[in-house]
């Protein structure tokens, strides 16, 4: 069995914006908070970081700042995914010398492809990049599912070190876990199913919730790994209302509102994303208050 890059709760870090620009001071503050909370790894410029609306220069500087703040204490993983295979390769070349430990590569979206096309896409990336690859399967966003048979073929290549799986079909996830057969790590991409993925011999989660409640996500994983399954399950259930609130609109809209309410950074998003609606704000405030996250 391959040793995973990390075990536990990683954060899919938001990118703080103020007046249309990246707030690098807030970015460093957010990174320090994760380090102090014991977060296992940081994913930067993943979907939650809004890279689709950032310039090439902004993304490079954001990654550079996070890597510098982390200073080798935990792994830093950069998002390089695209629906254009050549773009992934070019992006990795841009990032590879910034000090990241791996790249997160989502399945192609919009133009999509066949399962054979998926295999060709990922193998081309494996053959033409240097950073280790964590595959990212998120059918709800891409309308494309990385199937077990394709995953089994990819698992034969040691360039693929992990799979971030964002699927609600646990029977399908079990099938994927079987074909992986310990050759790559499995990380939950769903904050409401971390406990479930851990029971399937998963290695942790890449979490949106960790932006505002890293301790809880860490406890779910750490309790489970220590054999305290009841505490792990209880913590998972305890935060479910918050998870539902954070995904009541397109992510990262809700979590951007939440970080602002905690005074961590501005909740600003970039178009086509817009600020959270009233119902989402109410759900978040209620869930956060119930968890004791808001100051009196």
Give me the active site residues, please. Answer: 136, 164
Using an 8 Å Cβ cutoff, are 253 and 273 in contact?
yes
Using an 8 Å Cβ cutoff, are 280 and 257 in contact?
yes
Collect contacts of 218-227 with beta carbons under 8 A, ≥24 apart: 218/8, 218/9, 218/37, 218/38, 218/39, 218/40, 220/9, 220/194, 220/195, 221/7, 221/8, 221/9, 221/40, 221/194, 222/8, 224/195, 224/198, 225/7, 225/8, 225/198
The reply to whether omega before 252 is within 30° of 0 (cis) is yes
Residues 276 and 269: their CA atoms lie apart, in Å, by 10
The DSSP 8-state label assigned to residue 43 in this structure reads E
User: Secondary structure of the chain: what % helix, strand, coil (to 5)?
Assistant: 50, 15, 40
Cα 197 vs. chain centroid, distance in angstroms? Answer: 15
The residues, any chain, with a CB within 8 Å of residue 81's CB and separated by 6 or more, are 88, 104, 105, 106, 107, 136
Q: How many CB atoms lie within 10 A of CB 114?
A: 10
């Amino acid at each position: 069995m391959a040793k995973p890059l990390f075990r536990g709760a990683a954060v899919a870090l938001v990118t703080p914006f103020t007046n249309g620009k990246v707030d690098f001071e807030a970015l460093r503050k957010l990174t320090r908070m994760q380090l102090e909370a014991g977060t296992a790894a940081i994913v930067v410029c993943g979907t939650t970081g809004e890279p689709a609306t950032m310039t090439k220069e902004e993304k490079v500087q954001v990654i550079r700042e996070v890597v510098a703040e982390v200073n080798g204490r935990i792994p830093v993983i950069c998002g390089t995914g695209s629906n254009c295979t050549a773009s992934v390769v070019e992006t990795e070349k841009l990032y590879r010398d910034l000090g990241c430990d791996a790249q997160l590569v989502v399945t192609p979206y919009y133009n999509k492809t066949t399962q054979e096309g998926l295999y060709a896409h990922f193998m081309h990336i494996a053959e033409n990049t240097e950073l280790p690859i964590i595959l990212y399967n998120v059918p709800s966003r891409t309308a494309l599912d990385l199937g077990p048979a394709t995953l089994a073929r990819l698992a034969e290549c040691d360039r693929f070190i992990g799979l971030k799986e964002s699927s609600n079909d646990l029977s399908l996830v079990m099938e994927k876990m079987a074909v992986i057969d310990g050759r790559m790590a499995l990380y939950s991409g769903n904050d409401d199913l971390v406990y479930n993925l851990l029971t399937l011999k998963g290695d942790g989660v890449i979490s949106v919730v960790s932006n505002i409640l890293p301790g809880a996500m860490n406890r779910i994983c750490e309790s489970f790994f220590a054999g305290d399954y009841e505490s792990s399950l209880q913590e998972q259930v305890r935060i479910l209302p918050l998870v539902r609130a954070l995904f009541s609109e397109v992510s990262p809209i809700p979590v951007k509102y939440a970080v602002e309410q905690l005074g961590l950074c501005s909740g600003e998003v970039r178009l086509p994303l817009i600020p959270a609606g009233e119902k989402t704000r109410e759900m978040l405030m209620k869930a956060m208050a119930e968890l004791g996250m808001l100051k009196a």
